[in-house]
Amino acid sequence: MKIKYTAVLSIVLIVSVVLGACAPAPTPTPTTAPVATSAPAAAPTETPVPTAAPTETPMAAAPTEAPAAAGTPMVVTAGTPLPEVTAAKPYVIGVSLDSLFLGREAEMGGVTAEAEKLGVTLKVSNADNDAQTQSAQMQSFINQKVDAILLVAVDENAIRTSTKAAHDAGIPVITFDRVLPNNPDVVFQSGLDSLADGTSCGEYVAAQNDGQPHKILELLGALNDPNAIDRSAGFEAPLKDLTNLTIIKSPTNWNAEQALADVTNAFTANPDIWAIFIPSDFMMSAIQTGLTGANRFADAGQPGHVISCAIDGSPPGYDATVASWNDALVVLPLKTEAEAAVDAAVQILNGQTPPTKVEVFPGTLYTYQDIKQNADKIWGAQAELTPTPAPTATPGS
């Protein structure tokens, strides 16, 4: 029996090692940042600055009011610089992530860089989109008596018990990416201005309006995700008075395959769809396949082209916009927004008070005409990605 046990365990071990060895080297971010061995140098911290306005951009991103925040007395958009930050001692901060994907990796790049600069040790956990797992991980951070917790919540309601427990234990909780508007136990929130990002896309589509009756396919993210909800609301706001435009909504639940099915089905029922709103550009390959199947895949200015606007700024979105089959891309300032969360955490631990409780950072809209010139401002343009030719037409799909 022992031999069988050993054999099975050996196979599992060998396969795990082989798989791990086969895989490309991981980025160093989702693990623990290096521990500072001495007091950190008083290096000036980058204050959150909005990305510069793009050159030749027809629709500059306009920051809008952040989501209503009960219990959060002050909300400002990016541009209010936080005071220069230095850590009074080597703090240990727990980082509770909802899941790991390209955008979160980009944010973690900002968190890790800023933590290293300030001599902060990070303990990172990933809830894999499971609210209960995240609660357990938050409790673990509380038990470990970390100095502060940086949080991207899986579920804004389910996390309340954990944020209250941290608050009761005297551990400040700082959120980034997703703002939790109604949570009184969060001491600082650094978030994306999803409302403004959606509005940028809505204004871009509105600017293309020729007064003819048109249909717009609006893809939605997860219906319980505040960012997805705000992007949708922001997109629809500039279009609500344009009565010639009809919006068809389709939920993707942040699932690329669902997005492909939605596009395919929507074009089957409405072959004359004029524009698409894509709430996250990680699904660009799926959209491309769907448009190709519907015989509507064409570059901007070509017959049959479908106007599209996407949000995020990841490599697929950047490539699609450079290739000009995607018209506009709202690029999110992920690194800046994540750095602001670390700065705020250190300030609070130092006994200082950040000038605001909520700071939101709007993205910047680039079009297919100016995106290449602004590649250095786009996080996805820096990431490695092997381009692939357009898919061949497939019946149905």
Partner 1 sequence: MAQKRSSQFFRSILDSMRRARWVAVLVGVFLLGMGFTFLSPAFLTARNLGNIAIQSAITGVMAVGMTFVIMTAGIDISVGAIAYLTSALGAALVIQYQSPIIMYLIGIFLAMLLGLINGLVINFLRINPLITTLATLYIYRGLGIHANRAGITIVHQGARFFGIGTIAGVPMPLILPILIGIIGALILNYTRFGRYVLAIGNSQDAAHDSGLPVRQVLITVYVVAGLCAGLGGLILAGRVGAVSSDQGVNIEFTVITASVLGGTNLYGGRGSILGSLIGAILLVMIDNGLNLISASPYIYDTVRGAVLVGAVMIDRASTVRLFTTGFPFNVLAARHRSEAASQS
Which parts of this chain interact with partner 1 (CB under 8 A)?
Answer: 4-5, 7-8, 11-12, 15-16, 19-20, 22-24, 26-27, 30, 99-102, 104-105, 128-129, 220, 223, 248-251, 254-258, 260-262, 264-266, 268-269, 282, 284-286, 288-289, 314-316, 383, 385-389, 391-392, 394-397
**CA separation, residue 88 to residues 38, 39, 41, 323 (Å):** 12, 8, 11, 48
Q: Give yes or no for a contact between 218 and 247, defined as CB atoms under 8 angstroms apart.
A: yes
Residues 233, 239, 240: CA angle, nearest 5 degrees = 80
Could you tell me the smallest distance in angstroms from the CB atom of residue 392 to partner 1? 7
Q: How many Cβ atoms from other residues are within 10 Å of residue 255's Cβ?
A: 15
| Measured distance CA(190)–CA(192) in Å, rounded | 7
Ordered strands of the 364-367 beta sheet: 245-251, 214-220, 273-278, 307-312, 328-331, 364-367
Could you tell me the smallest distance in angstroms from the CB atom of residue 270 to partner 1? 8
Q: Rg of the chain's alpha carbons, rounded to an integer?
A: 22
Q: Give yes or no for a contact between 178 and 338, defined as CB atoms under 8 angstroms apart.
A: no
Task: Give 180 or 286: the residue with its C-beta nearer to partner 1.
Answer: 286
Could you tell me the smallest distance in angstroms from the CB atom of residue 94 to partner 1? 19
Could you tell me the smallest distance in angstroms from the CB atom of residue 396 to partner 1? 4
Could you tell me the smallest distance in angstroms from the CB atom of residue 6 to partner 1? 10
Task: Give 80 or 285: the residue with its C-beta nearer to partner 1.
Answer: 285
Residues 239, 226, 184: CA angle, nearest 5 degrees = 130
Task: Give 54 or 316: the residue with its C-beta nearer to partner 1.
Answer: 316
Q: How many Cβ atoms from other residues are within 10 Å of residue 160's Cβ?
A: 18
Could you tell me the smallest distance in angstroms from the CB atom of residue 13 to partner 1? 11
